[in-house]
Structure 1
Amino acid sequence: MAINGNLYDWESVEVQLPHGVTVGLTDIGYTDERGIEARYGKGSIPRAFGRKNYKATGSGTLDKDEFERLRVGLGGSVYTKAPFVIVISYANQDQPVITDTLPDVLITKVDTSSQQEDDNAGTVKLDFIILSPIKWNGIPAYTSGRNGSLGI
């Protein structure tokens, strides 16, 4: 099998937080979902389905100094009342840049736990909720049905 070039690696990822491009980020993850529930009537076979609400969440781990820059960038508290945007860009050699946007992010949990054998004890783990649909490479994951769209 021929080697066709560098695929996405941590060096090809750029994450922008409210205070600018971050370098002290050791992991980031984000998910979204919209559940489907089978609807039953008489018998044991679904006769239809119902859609649940759209939900998006994420998490990340920052070095302590990067967490402090984020905290200051959010006005002194990570539990700020104003949602903020996280932008993640992936760049592969000889391919277009892929950019995911996490709009309207609010931090829900901060965890500074570490263990004696950890290589880096100065990390801060964050959980967050994403209040608007994730834009996967510029395309919203979901539209709500407002403005005449069906939201399907």
Structure 2
Amino acid sequence: MSEIKINGLNYDWPSVSVTGPNGVFIDITEVNWKSSQKKKRIYGKGSVPIGVARGNYSATVDFTISKDEYRQFVESLGTSPFKAEFDLAIVFELDGQDRSETLIKQVLIDDVDDSAKQGEDAIVVKLSGTAQMIIKDGVPDYE
């Protein structure tokens, strides 16, 4: 049985640290990651499945950073963001306790969504792409 927290701390945005090729992202406002492997039921005679076929594993990531952070990020890559492979580390840590890390390996950027409009509080760049593997606390999502 898990321990119930009463008036305890839960992970929140200040407990998250995201590190990329340019070091810790300071002006990051969002990061999302997803891994999946589709499965399909296989049928033979009759209407009951006789097995399962597994598709390929895939991992995706997207993150939103400030325009200045994007400039520093591209400089650290030394090339176009569409040509570089890099890792992202997302660490969740509450005041030195309960540390958890997600490592997103070999990210390849597919899309850079860059825009500006009057009245915006901050100009941001949204990046999205694929990854080779997502590893949570040292355990790969797929082996």
**Where does residue 85 of structure 1 map in the other structure?**
87
TM-score normalised by length of structure 2: 0.90
Structure 1: which amino acid aligns with 2:140?
P
**Where does residue 3 of structure 1 map in the other structure?**
7
TM-score normalised by length of structure 1: 0.85
Higher strand share: 2
Hey, what's the Cα distance between the residues in 2 that align with 1:74 and 1:93?
A: 31
Range with bigger deviation, 56-65 or 105-114: 105-114
Hey, what's the Cα distance between the residues in 2 that align with 1:26 and 1:87?
A: 15
Please state how far the C-alpha of 1:128 moved relative to its aligned partner: 1.2
- Summarize deviations over 1:113-144 as a string: whole Å, max 9, x none: 35545332x1000011102x21011111111x
Alignment of 1:2-151 (within 5 A): 2-4=6-8, 6-80=9-83, 82-93=84-95, 95-120=97-122, 122-131=123-132, 133-143=133-143
- Whether contact under 8 Å (1:7, 1:93) holds in the other structure is no
Q: How has the CA–CA distance of structure 1 residues 90 and 124 changed in structure 2, closer, same or farther, with 3 Å as cutoff?
A: same
Q: How many residues align?
A: 139
Identity across aligned pairs (percent)? Answer: 34
